[in-house]
Amino acid sequence: MAFRYPNGKKFEPKRNEMKPKSVKKDARFSNRGMSLEEDINETNEYYLTHHIAVIHKKPTPLQIVNVHYPARSAAVVTEAYFQKPSTTDYNGVYKGKHIDFEAKETKNKQSFPFKNFHDHQIDHMKRVVSQGGIAFALLRFSYSDEVFLLEAKYLISFYEKKDQTRKSMKKSDIQQYGHLIPLGFHPRIDYISVVDKLITGS
């Protein structure tokens, strides 16, 4: 099935990260190799079932163009277009606060490319923050399997300077202004523990 963006460009799905071989079984790293999206979805399910937060991945609206009917009772979509550019990956509510974030990962060791983000996503985060919501990005360095929460205000600041300075954020800046999230088992990526600190200002 072919998916296309509003401008007609064909959507090319990202290749899954290769799963590293494990030598010793350790519960803390039993999910190592899973994509960032899978880890976050698993974490969100934990939050939901334990009545901690209600956060979901946003569905992407599609316009169906062609449908194939191999049988009377079956229909297969063979071509579709993204109706409009997406904003961020996830949103929901936690302790009465609107939560909105983007999730990205890179194979780079010491930098995070700005090309992973788009102008409309940054503009969306600005609007969320201006309305009192909490917006951020979860950034994974797949080489070291480190995940950082970077608040929108820092991401926006770095992004707006991208043409003046460089094409990526330095990992050292992300370490300085972001929050390293220790990887666990349940939940896998406990970003809500960092959101608590953002709410209380601690």
Residuewise pLDDT in 10s, the chain (202 residues): 555 555 556 666 555 444 444 434 343 333 444 589 999 999 999 999 999 999 999 766 555 656 667 776 677 666 555 445 567 889 999 999 999 999 999 999 999 999 989 899 999 999 999 999 999 999 999 999 999 999 999 999 999 888 766 789 999 999 999 999 999 888 999 999 999 999 988 6
Calpha distance 145→107 (Å, rounded): 10
What residues make up the domain containing 126?
40-59+85-200
Asked, for residue 5, whether it belongs to a domain, the answer is: no
Asked, for residue 103, whether it belongs to a domain, the answer is: yes
Asked, for residue 1, whether it belongs to a domain, the answer is: no
Calpha distance 30→63 (Å, rounded): 38
Asked, for residue 111, whether it belongs to a domain, the answer is: yes
Q: What is the pTM of this model?
A: 0.72
Sort strands 111-113 and 168-170 into parallel, antiparallel or unpaired: antiparallel
Asked, for residue 16, whether it belongs to a domain, the answer is: no
In the chain, the number of structural domains is 1
Asked, for residue 71, whether it belongs to a domain, the answer is: no
Amino acid residing at 125? M
Asked, for residue 73, whether it belongs to a domain, the answer is: no
The 3-state DSSP composition of the chain as helix, strand, coil percent (nearest 5) reads 30, 35, 40
Q: What CATH number should be reported for the domain holding residue 118?
A: 3.40.1350.10
Judge residue 167's burial from the number of C-beta atoms within 10 Å of its C-beta, 0-12 exposed, 13-18 middle, 19 or more buried: exposed
